[in-house]
Amino acid sequence: MIPAVLICGYLGAGKTTLVNRLLNRRSDRRLVVLVNDFGGINIDKDLIVDADEAVISLENGCACCTIQNSLGDSLDAAQAMRPDAIVLEASGVALPQKIAAFVDGWPGIRLAGSITLADCLNLEALLTDKFVAPLVRDQIRGSSRIVLTKEDLASDRGLEAVSDCIASLNPGAAVSIGSSSLVVDELIEGIEAGADVPAHVVSHLAFDTATFTATGTFEREGLTMALENLPKDVWRVKGFVYLDESKGSARRHSVQRVGNRTSIEPERERAPSPISENSVVFIAPKGLIDLAKCVAIFAELISRR
């Protein structure tokens, strides 16, 4: 039977980031990843290996409406690709217990584990949100493994408060902080095996995208201003920019924005590149705004010195 790992958590909890990290590892096993949310996993080809475009969607619904059974079809499609393991990114409104029961009982598949991601910055707000508080509570309660994400942006006190909150909701859970490669390693460990084969992503999109590309280096202030000036309808920003550091050197930074939250993080050491190539992808719902114009304004602002 093929082992499957389930990644749960509300919208913005960091599921896509974790999936990206999984896919970017050089690994011995061949993964098929089922992606539910409109996160645009395969947008940034620099972050993703060998993306596949089949449509897979994992939906809620009662049996009468879901007789067509898209999750089951998706699992069958995934199995047919003969992977060493399957990773499912659950819908942001899915209950881990429910999907776990589904996956664990599906012919040919056994559940290796499920993990719920919780965004440190947003968790407390979600737990009082008028629409999703009970759902987010149940998502925390529904996995034996909780990972706190965006910990780098939380204060120590904030982190403590969130940890306490999780401990009170799900006292038995193994809680780790940071959706780092360590967590990815631990997640993978249960399903490890095989040779160095790139992973496959299965996803679908309903977005406009536009890409800013440039060579050269930029200043952090310019980048920050350029990001702040983007209209809120730009849902996601992801990519990398070379930022000036002391003594005339520059370092590649990973740039991410989800909703209001922006992160600019130095990447680990890379082989020096003679040309600093920058690339930032902008994602917005199809047809809502003029992304080309956004990119033009972004290009202007980021270049200010």
Partner 1 sequence: MTVNDEKLTIFPARSIITMERAMPRASAIAIKGDRIVEVGSIETMQPWLDNRPFEIDDRFRDKVIMPGFIDPHLHPSMAAILLNMHFITALEWQLPWQRVPAVKTPEAFQARLEELVSKDAGREPIFTWGHHPIWHGEVNRAGLDELSPDRPLIVWHRGYHSLVVNTAALKWMQIDEDNARRHIHVDLERGYFCETGLSVAFRSINRYVLDKERFTAGLERLKQVVHLGGHTTIGDMATGMYDFDLEWGSLKSVFERDDTPFRIDLIPTHGAFGGRGGPPNDEQLDAIVNARSMNTHRLRFGNQIKMFSDGGFFAELMQLGEPGFIDPLHHGEWLTPPETFEATARAYWNRGLHVHVHCTGDLGLELALDTLAKLLDERPRFDHRFTIEHLGVSTPEQARRMAALGAAASVNVYYVHELSDSFYKHVLGYERASQMSRLGTLMENGITTAIHSDYTMSPAMPLFNAWVAANRITEAGTVMGASERLTLDQALQTITTNAAFVLGRENEIGTLRAGKYADFTVLDADPYDLPIDELKDIPVHGTVFEGKPYDLPR
Residues at the contact surface with partner 1, assessed by CB under 8 A? 10-11, 36-38, 55, 57, 59-69, 71-72, 91-93, 95, 98, 101-102, 104-108, 130-132, 134-135, 138, 204-208, 285-288
Strand partners, 244: 250
Strand partners, 285: 207
Q: Tell me the closest approach of the beta carbon of residue 263 to partner 1, in angstroms.
A: 19
Q: Tell me the closest approach of the beta carbon of residue 124 to partner 1, in angstroms.
A: 17
Q: Tell me the closest approach of the beta carbon of residue 185 to partner 1, in angstroms.
A: 28
Helix axes 220-228, 291-302, angle to 10 degrees: 150
- Quickly count: other Cβ atoms within 10 Å of residue 8's Cβ: 28
Q: Tell me the closest approach of the beta carbon of residue 60 to partner 1, in angstroms.
A: 5
- Quickly count: other Cβ atoms within 10 Å of residue 241's Cβ: 27
Closer by beta carbon to partner 1, 94 or else 183: 94
CA distances from 78 to 20, 35, 58, 87, 139 (A): 18, 11, 13, 10, 25
Region for residue 254 given its phi and psi (left: phi exceeds 0; alpha: psi -120 to 50; beta: otherwise): beta
Closer by beta carbon to partner 1, 182 or else 288: 288
Q: Tell me the closest approach of the beta carbon of residue 41 to partner 1, in angstroms.
A: 12
Q: Tell me the closest approach of the beta carbon of residue 204 to partner 1, in angstroms.
A: 7
Closer by beta carbon to partner 1, 107 or else 274: 107
- Quickly count: other Cβ atoms within 10 Å of residue 168's Cβ: 9
Closer by beta carbon to partner 1, 95 or else 159: 95
Strand-by-strand arrangement of the 250-258 sheet:
207-215, 277-285, 236-244, 250-258, 261-266
Closer by beta carbon to partner 1, 216 or else 231: 231
Q: Tell me the closest approach of the beta carbon of residue 88 to partner 1, in angstroms.
A: 13
Closer by beta carbon to partner 1, 61 or else 190: 61
Q: Residue 113 gets which letter from DSSP?
A: E
The Cα 139–Cα 8 span in angstroms is 7
Query: Which residues, including other chains, have CB under 8 Å from residue 300's CB and lie 6 or more apart?
Result: none
Query: Which residues, including other chains, have CB under 8 Å from residue 132's CB and lie 6 or more apart?
Result: 10, 93, 126
Closer by beta carbon to partner 1, 180 or else 209: 209
Closer by beta carbon to partner 1, 73 or else 221: 73
Task: Give the up-direction half-sphere exposure of residue 43: CA atoms within 13 A in the CB hemisphere.
Answer: 23
Nearest CA-CA partner of 52 in 187, 155, 202: 202
Q: Are strands 174-177 and 250-258 parallel, antiparallel or unpaired?
A: unpaired
Q: Tell me the closest approach of the beta carbon of residue 247 to partner 1, in angstroms.
A: 44
Kindly state the tokens that stand for 137. Answer: 């509570």
